Amino acid sequence: MSERKVLNKYYPPDFDPSKIPKLKLPKDRQYVVRLMAPFNMRCKTCGEYIYKGKKFNARKETVQNEAYLGLPIFRFYIKCTRCLAEITFKTDPENTDYSMEHGATRNFQAEKLLEEEEKRVQKEREDEELNNPMKVLENRTKDSKLEMEVLENLQELKDLNQRQAHVDFEAVLRQHRLSEEERQKQEQEEDERETAALVEEARKRRLLEDSDSEEDAPAPAPPRLALRPKPTAILDEVMGGVPPTRAVGLRLGRLALASHPGPVQSRKEAVPAPWTPGTSSLSQLGAYSDSEDSSGSN
């Protein structure tokens, strides 16, 4: 029984590998690869920002007639995520970086620009020294002067460190602690004074408010003396509002009628007239006496 996974293949004795046709592919063939944006960029068409690390399905090709020390340079094609404009960038093996080619601008290149500027200045200096011997002497003088300044600064730092080596740090810390305690005590006293001033101000304000409320309030009415009742008020209540003099006259008239009975008609006529507030008690009594005399003559 044969194996399921064959590791060795059979080659006939007349096998000639040169007769196998080779697949001819174009040199500028493009491959679809998955990559991430190597730097921050901004699309020139719509202004969309594309940040470093964003993934794209890119097309990759080999740049023709460009190489660095035998290393091929590759070009990548991506599309903007907003307007689908094509953006291209290439590898830069000389600087171990990528270089923007078309469709966008690279952002945050301050460090790279600084390095390029330093390289340019260094190259210009070398070119000047190569053609001008006096320039070489001048540059050496400047370098030696700068070196002397650096050494002087370094010596000053050493002297400062030596002076500080004899400093009693415990005493310094103790002094700092005492000053800190004094500062805290002073702050506490200031807080107490402010609190007392606020309390005093609140008390004064309360007294002023109380005095204002007393001035605005109406004066209390003086106590009213109780009215003393009339001596005859209780008699008025007993007699039903009839004056006492008239009550006496009525009672005398009733006694006279009881002692001299007469006809019904005279008895009716003998009924006294109703009392009017304008008549006096003596006139009423005279009227009763007249009525009795008339009844007796009858």
The closest of 288, 296, 294 to 260, measured between CA atoms, is: 296
Distances (CA, A) of 136 to 50, 124, 194: 47, 12, 73
**Mean pLDDT over the full length of the chain:** 78
Residue 80 counted as an annotated binding residue: yes
Residue spans of the domains in the chain: they are 31-108, 114-165, 168-208
Cα atoms in the Cβ-side hemisphere of radius 13 Å centred on 29: 5
Between 244 and 110, the higher pLDDT residue: 110
Contact 81, 21 (CB under 8 A): no
Residue 156 counted as an annotated binding residue: no
Cα 121 from Cα 125, distance rounded (Å)? 6
**3-class state of residue 276 by DSSP:** coil
Burial 160-179 (b: 16+ CB within 10 A, else e): eeeeeeeeeeeeeeeeeeee
- Residue 260 pLDDT exceeds 50: yes
Residue 46 counted as an annotated binding residue: yes
- Residue 95 pLDDT exceeds 90: no
Does the pTM surpass 0.75? The reply is no
Tell me the pLDDT tens digit for each residue of 193-243: 999 999 999 999 888 888 877 776 555 555 555 555 555 555 555 455 555
The closest of 126, 63, 114 to 92, measured between CA atoms, is: 63
Residue 43 counted as an annotated binding residue: yes
Tell me the pLDDT tens digit for each residue of 109-128: 777 788 888 989 988 888 88
* CB neighbour list of residue 32: distance below 8 Å, 6 or more residues apart: 57, 58, 59, 60
pLDDT band, residue 270 (cuts 50/70/90): very low
Q: Can you tell me the mean pLDDT for 273-286?
A: 52
Per-residue tokens: 112:
């790279």
Contact 30, 64 (CB under 8 A): no
Is residue 43 classed exposed, middle or buried when 0-12, 13-18 and 19+ CB atoms within 10 A define those classes? Answer: buried
